[in-house]
Amino acid sequence: MNIVVTRHKALVEFLIKRKMIGANTPIIAHATEKDVLGKDVIGVLPLRLAALAASVTEVPMDIPAELRGQELSLEQVEAFSGEPVKYTVARWRLTTQGVSK
């Protein structure tokens, strides 16, 4: 199941327009462990949450410095976005005995 983690309306419009999500895909602004566990997530997550998700898809954005921190329009998202990239993240614990999963 896909979920989208974003606060940006234009990104949701972009994902729908590109048929990456459907109109009924859950959209959440702030994710918890329960929200992402075992799911395919579209958005940007902290690594500790990304490791719990089945996968994380990012739409890389090359936003000019003067527009950072502002809400973008759909047209701006389309202009500044790159090709989506899917990641899988594994969590490994570092101990005095070495590395363990």
Q: Give the pLDDT confidence of 17-56 residue by residue, as tens digits.
A: 999 999 899 999 999 999 999 999 999 999 999 999 999 9
Do residues 85 and 56 lie in contact, with contact meaning Cβ atoms separated by under 8 Å?
Answer: no
Supply the pLDDT for residue 41. Answer: 98
CA torsion, ordered 6, 9, 15, 19, to nearest 10 deg: 130
Q: Give the pLDDT confidence of 61-90 residue by residue, as tens digits.
A: 999 999 998 999 999 999 999 999 999 999
**40 vs 1, which has greater pLDDT?**
40
> Residue 77 belongs to what H/E stretch?
helix 74-80
- Looking at the 3D structure of the chain, how many domains does it have? 1
41-70 burial string, b = 16+ CB within 10 Å, else e? bbbbbeeebbebbeebbbbebeeeeeeeee
Domain that holds residue 72: 2-100
Supply the pLDDT for residue 23. Answer: 86
Supply the pLDDT for residue 92. Answer: 86
